[in-house]
Amino acid sequence: MSTSLEIVRLTVNGDPRTAGVPPHWTLLETLRYAMGLTGSKQGCDKGDCGACTVLVDGEPTLSCITPVWEAEGHRVTTVEGLAGPDGPHPVQDAFDRYGAGQCGFCTPGVLCSAAALLERTPTPSRHEVKEALAGNLCRCTGYTKILDAVVDAGRVLAERTSGSGEASNG
Ligand code: FES
Ligand code: FES
């Protein structure tokens, strides 16, 4: 028996996207298997590991346990959409400089959680970073370099902000 498909309309990384998906599909399944956005990873598939974390209206969201219909009408951002017109997101750049990814399986979810933190708390303490990433499990790094990278991304963002303030004042 074939499953009928239903049309879902999402805004993903700023673009309107449409796909025909089985009615029971999750946001993660839709992103990966209907829209070709495979950056978000399918790890535990039951809400435990954080590998599937994306942003919905800027909030970290476990896409493996989010029915895709709940995302209709909301802004979805995946790791593919974190970079801006000027290049990688500061936290992506910091991950590169610190060697904060190893196998990389957890990295897209960690980057999304970190980007959301930096949006609401531009210069987070190490403790705040730990709390924000508590739902993102990593089997490889021991977390030290991940924490170092996110704290340093905050420093870079603060420098940029004060630099642009000086520029606009000068
Ligand atoms: S794949 Fe979603 S929490 Fe593990
Ligand atoms: S880098 Fe391998 S799970 Fe985090």
Identity at 10, one-letter amino acid code = L
State whether the beta carbon of 105 lies less than 6 angstroms from ligand 2. Answer: yes
Which among 34, 25, 29 is positioned nearest to 3, based on CA atoms?
A: 25
Residue 97 to residue 112: CA distance in whole angstroms: 18
Distance 42 CA to ligand 1 centre (A): 6
The dihedrals phi and psi of 123, each to the nearest 5 degrees, come to -125, 75
Distance 161 CA to ligand 2 centre (A): 31
pLDDT tens, 43-76?
999 999 999 999 999 999 999 999 999 999 999 9
Walk me through the domains of the chain, giving residue ranges and CATH numbers.
6-81 (3.10.20.30), 90-165 (1.10.150.120)
pTM: 0.94
